[in-house]
Amino acid sequence: MAKGAESFRYFILGLLAQQEMSGYDIKRFLESLGWLVGNPSFGSIYPALHALLEDGLVTVEVVSRPDKPPRKIYAITKAGEQALQDWVAEPATIGSSRKAFVMQMILVGDFSQTGVIAHLQQRRETVVANHLALEQTIQGMGDRASLGQQLALEYGLTTAGAELTWLDSTLAQMSSDPGSDRLGTAT
Amino acid sequence: MAKGAESFRYFILGLLAQQEMSGYDIKRFLESLGWLVGNPSFGSIYPALHALLEDGLVTVEVVSRPDKPPRKIYAITKAGEQALQDWVAEPATIGSSRKAFVMQMILVGDFSQTGVIAHLQQRRETVVANHLALEQTIQGMGDRASLGQQLALEYGLTTAGAELTWLDSTLAQMSSDPGSDRLGTAT
DNA sequence: ACGCACATGTAATCAGTTACATGATTCT
DNA sequence: AGAATCATGTAACTGATTACATGTGCGT
């Protein structure tokens, strides 16, 4: 069963669901999103692609173009779509990382915006919990904390607060707007 | 030479510089900071401690207390302090992770607040670069992005912006205030 | 012929987690 | 005697990075 929630494997599969690509393309796309999801090296991408192929979740097609070296275009299969949906709908994963959140949000955006809302709410809970835990730590440490510790704590509190604000406003916006002004999709 | 900038090893050493502790203590302290720096397992902490001991950067003392099981208290050595300072002052590391930033800030707070300022400025540059890169990606993708992608991009932009705001205000605050109202330390 | 951008791949290595194993002390 | 908490440790495994190795087609 689909294990390894924080892994790039399923994220790569999800990207292939959005559009068929080569390993090289995936690398560049990931680079364009940069720090948001991190960018795995080729030494990570190619083996992942091979594994997906092994499991029958994707297919390859070698495409030789006249002016450029040949590329291996990977496309998702029915089985792959099923596995992806299982992963995306996966039990909440409270306390998961920011990267995992962003990755899942990117993928879930393909299916339903109700799913997106659920993910945002999930994230909200995680951030609230983080914020709370940090406040309690500050209570406990009081003024015994060093300068660096105090700054770190403030930093955490502030960034968590900002994230919360964004989540709330986005959530409000998406809830009030059942259709979709962003995409031509839906109905 | 001090390699492995993102490693917990030096961070643990830094914590020992602030206060001598056991492996167990370190674990609990890290848990109290939670997601800010992540919390390594014992399987990571104890070997790290052994390695530091090997390198002569720390010393151990077994302390048997009457009512509790014995503990191994680790304390930093002169050599350890030197190694730590080298690590903390290390060449900028632009583009490093948030965790690395928080870890270094916590440690550098022990030495000088000029060092802290330098670190904050360093972080500022990184965040500005991230923000800019994200904006360019948005330009490039335009409205071809999926809902999930658009949200991810917005999310990144917003959180980076918030971090920048905090950095600027903290930087302003610290620059205008050369002494130290937070600590009794300084000159 | 050479270097460069594009493109794919593998092996060695590394940092960290999980699971396992041990043991002291206190409480019931 | 057994469970619970505090405390330390090791071995197997995993996920990813680094460095290496290969090859195409284009411009010079």
* Local confidence band at B91 (pLDDT 50, 70, 90 cut-offs): low
Strand ranges in A14-134 using DSSP code E only, listed in sequence order? 58-63, 71-76
Chosen domain end from B39, B57, B89: B89
Please give the Cα distance from B21 to B29 (Å, whole number). Answer: 10
> Distance from A7 to chain B by nearest Cα, in Å?
17
Check whether residue B16 and residue B57 sit in a common domain: yes
Mean pLDDT (whole number) for B86-95: 74
Check whether residue A115 and residue A77 sit in a common domain: no
Kindly report the CA angle at A106 between A104 and A107, in degrees rounded to 5?
Answer: 65
Q: How far is the CA of B125 from the C1' of D28 (A)?
A: 39
Check whether residue B65 and residue B142 sit in a common domain: no
Q: The tokens of B53 are what?
A: 């001991």
Smallest Cβ–Cβ distance between A147 and the set B32, B116, B137 belongs to: B116
- State the pLDDT at residue A79: 95
Does the pLDDT of residue A140 top 80, yes or no?
A: yes
Given 3-state DSSP classes, what are the helix, strand and coil percentages for chain A, each rounded to the nearest 5?
65, 5, 30
Position A103 in a domain = no
The B 147-186 residues near strand D by Cβ under 7 Å are none
Q: What is the CATH number of the domain that holds B62?
A: 1.10.10.10
φ, ψ at A62 (rounded to 5°): -85, 120
Does the pLDDT of residue A56 top 80, yes or no?
A: yes
Listed range (A89-93, A162-166, B18-22) with the worst mean pLDDT:
A89-93
B177 dihedral zone (left: phi>0; alpha: psi -120 to 50; beta): beta
- State the pLDDT at residue A91: 63
Residue ranges making up the domain that contains A39: 3-89
**Residue A88 contacts residue A107 (beta carbons within 8 Å):** yes
Check whether residue A26 and residue A73 sit in a common domain: yes
Position A55 in a domain = yes
- State the pLDDT at residue A67: 84
Does the pLDDT of residue A93 top 80, yes or no?
A: no
Does the pLDDT of residue B29 top 90, yes or no?
A: yes
The mean pLDDT of chain B is 87
Check whether residue A45 and residue A81 sit in a common domain: yes
Does the pLDDT of residue B183 top 60, yes or no?
A: no
Q: What percent of chain B has pLDDT over 90?
A: 62
Digit-coded pLDDT (tens) for B59-78: 999 998 888 899 999 999 99
More confident residue, A90 or B3: A90
DSSP state of A60: E
Total of domains in chain A = 2
Please give the Cα distance from A11 to A43 (Å, whole number). Answer: 16
Chain position carrying tokens 């509790």: B68
More confident residue, A88 or B61: B61
Check whether residue A77 and residue A134 sit in a common domain: no
Closest C-alpha among A100, A43, A35 to residue B94: A35
- State the pLDDT at residue B16: 96
Position A119 in a domain = yes
- Chain A residues in contact with B105 by the CB 8 A cut-off are 148, 151-152, 155
Does the pLDDT of residue A85 top 90, yes or no?
A: no
Q: Do A106 and B150 touch (CB under 8 A)?
A: no
**Residue B171 contacts residue B117 (beta carbons within 8 Å):** yes
Q: How far is the CA of A65 from the C1' of D26 (A)?
A: 13
Closest C-alpha among B111, B173, B44 to residue A147: B111
- State the pLDDT at residue B179: 56
Please give the Cα distance from A6 to A25 (Å, whole number). Answer: 21
More confident residue, B84 or A177: B84
β-bridge partners, A71: A63
Does the pLDDT of residue A2 top 50, yes or no?
A: no
- State the pLDDT at residue A92: 64
Listed range (A53-62, A112-121, A137-146, B3-12) with the worst mean pLDDT:
B3-12
Check whether residue B77 and residue B116 sit in a common domain: no
More confident residue, B89 or A24: A24
The B 17-56 residues near strand C by Cβ under 7 Å are 38-44, 48
Kindly report the CA angle at B74 between B69 and B79, in degrees rounded to 5?
Answer: 165
Chosen domain end from B32, B58, B89: B89
- Determine the length of chain A: 187
Position A105 in a domain = no
> Which residue's CA lies closest to nucleotide D18 at its C1' atom?
A43
The mean pLDDT of chain A is 87
Check whether residue B81 and residue B19 sit in a common domain: yes
Check whether residue A74 and residue A22 sit in a common domain: yes
- State the pLDDT at residue B144: 83
Mean pLDDT (whole number) for A149-164: 96
More confident residue, B131 or B90: B131
**Residue B32 contacts residue B51 (beta carbons within 8 Å):** no
DSSP assignment of A71-99 equals EEEEEE-HHHHHHHHHHHT----TT--HH
The half-sphere exposure of B179 on its side-chain side, counting CA atoms within 13 A, is 4
The B 56-95 residues near strand C by Cβ under 7 Å are 64, 66-70
Mean pLDDT (whole number) for A81-101: 83
Check whether residue B10 and residue B79 sit in a common domain: yes
Check whether residue A64 and residue A22 sit in a common domain: yes
- State the pLDDT at residue A124: 95
Q: What percent of chain A has pLDDT over 90?
A: 63
Check whether residue B12 and residue B83 sit in a common domain: yes
What contacts B25, CB < 8 A, 6 or more positions away?
Answer: none
* Local confidence band at B181 (pLDDT 50, 70, 90 cut-offs): very low
Position A66 in a domain = yes
Chosen domain end from B58, B89, B120: B89
Q: What percent of chain B has pLDDT over 70?
A: 90
Does the pLDDT of residue A65 top 70, yes or no?
A: yes
Position B182 in a domain = no
Position B155 in a domain = yes
Q: Output the 3-class SS for chain B.
A: CCCCCCCHHHHHHHHHHHCCECHHHHHHHHHHHHHHCCCCCHHHHHHHHHHHHHCCCEEEEEECCCCCCCEEEEEECHHHHHHHHHHHCCCCCCCCCHHHHHHHHHHHCCCCHHHHHHHHHHHHHHHHHHHHHHHHHHHHHCCCCCHHHHHHHHHHHHHHHHHHHHHHHHHHHHHCCCCCCCCCCCC
Position A74 in a domain = yes
Does the pLDDT of residue A64 top 70, yes or no?
A: yes
Which nucleotide lies nearest residue B38, CA to C1'?
A: C16
